[in-house]
Structure 1
């Protein structure tokens, strides 16, 4: 999974804040127990003091502290038994005074075997969803809220199928893509006029894939190509951020490149687009391209190599019918 440095930092801040909150709550519970039974505080101090004295003595002597710890365990057995009995009398668990990590896999560090632990990854997923929500209406645009009622059931002679049946098929393809992303992945090209549901289904897929714990980047073609241009010509003062953004575009689990065709097409844009498409195909990363252009228009506008890869490696989903936004306004 390719992580965005800024998002991972935000996730770690939230992760550490919750960790600190749990510690404070533990200390408050611990203090409340000590107030109920002051003898427990004394026992804990005696155990801690003896532990520190024996271990430090063993280390100063250059010996293995393990035998000393065994001696400590035996010497303080009566204190431990007394603590246990007092806690049982209070109706509390015998380990209630022990601080335990919320995640036993990483001990609340957020990392395991030099990789992001699943506990911190859950925070990252939430932060990523917040980031996606700045561009997509993830709250309302989901597979559960998608409706076919706005699509005409009259057959379109140009396509030989009704907009309704076509969207029924497209919905199934997009839902299967998202639900089975962890096993299959894939690439989609969504084409058609504005207002037909491309952004809605893109948001639904982004939401589902994100909640599955995968890295998702959603951005417009204009902004994505601007990032590549800034990297190439050093036009951005914060070069590190641009490098991170480009790396994440190329290597995230799912890239959704929206509004292809709204950018000014230059030789550089064609080269950057080819780099994105080719790199992600070679590395097995999934991409969804959404455009108001038809496949033929895309082929004429961009290079033959790009058209070949889109037509050969992407499942093309043509959207047609009446503008749903206008129908809803009417």
Structure 2
């Protein structure tokens, strides 16, 4: 091959693999049920578009989240709140936004941060406080106590003060959240989030007709 002017190592090279997109990488972290979720509610898509436009340019010109508004998606069980929230995250990733994000249900949050030997729960809480985008799912659904109320307040208050975009889903209205989590949390949520109300039957119980 060298006689024909072709370097042996060049001939043996395989094509470079296709680059993996941020959305493809994120899908490993998104629960299987929501891996192809699409946000189609006008307020949710408008929020995602606004976050993408407001991002600060980073490496290679890709926008990254700095500060921005938050969204609180409210409605009865089974109306698609979590679906819309994951759809919003997927929209941002598909738009090329550099995005470090976390998603956790309120019940898992409390279980995850409950003090136990050998685990630095404060460090984990600080990571959630500072994360550029947080999805806090099913807020108000878990059993509450003074400890969970204080933990929720610290998390919400930090994100409120630093204008960190937060996606919140809940079955509860603002008044019901006030009863469940206290005035301090409910007041901040009322100011920092745009409410999106979903309605309709429980999709999990509705079978498609044949």
Matched with 1:193 is 76
> For residues 321 and 126 of structure 1, do their structure 2 counterparts lie closer, same or farther at Cα, with a shift above 3 Å needed?
closer
Contact 1:193 1:319 in 2 (8 A): yes
Asked if 1:142 corresponds to 2:38, the answer is yes
Query: Structure 1: which 5+ runs fail to align?
Result: 1-35, 38-85, 103-118, 147-170
TM-score by length of 2: 0.76
TM-score by length of 1: 0.50
Matched with 1:131 is 29
- With CA pairs under 8 Å and 6+ residues apart, which has the higher RCO, 1 or 2? 2
Among 76, 81, 86, which residue is 1:203 paired with? Answer: 86
Q: Distance in 1 between matches of 2:188 and 2:147?
A: 18
Cα drift, residue 297 of structure 1: 0.6
Matched with 1:53 is none
Q: Deviations over 1:72-98 (max 9, x none)?
A: xxxxxxxxxxxxxx8xx6378xxx69x
Matched with 2:113 is 228
Equivalences for residues 88-99 of structure 1 within 5 A: 90=5
Higher-Rg member (1/2): 1
Matched with 1:151 is none
Asked if 1:177 corresponds to 2:47, the answer is yes
Cα drift, residue 126 of structure 1: 4.1
Q: Deviations over 1:169-214 (max 9, x none)?
A: xx11101212332334311111111111111101201212344320
Query: Structure 2: which 5+ runs fail to align?
Result: 55-67
> How many residues in Structure 1 have an aligned counterpart in Structure 2?
187
Q: Distance in 2 between matches of 1:125 and 1:142?
A: 13
Asked if 1:218 corresponds to 2:103, the answer is yes
Q: Distance in 1 between matches of 2:189 and 2:42?
A: 21
Contact 1:192 1:292 in 2 (8 A): yes
Asked if 1:283 corresponds to 2:175, the answer is no
**SS of 2:136's equivalent?**
strand
Contact 1:299 1:306 in 2 (8 A): yes
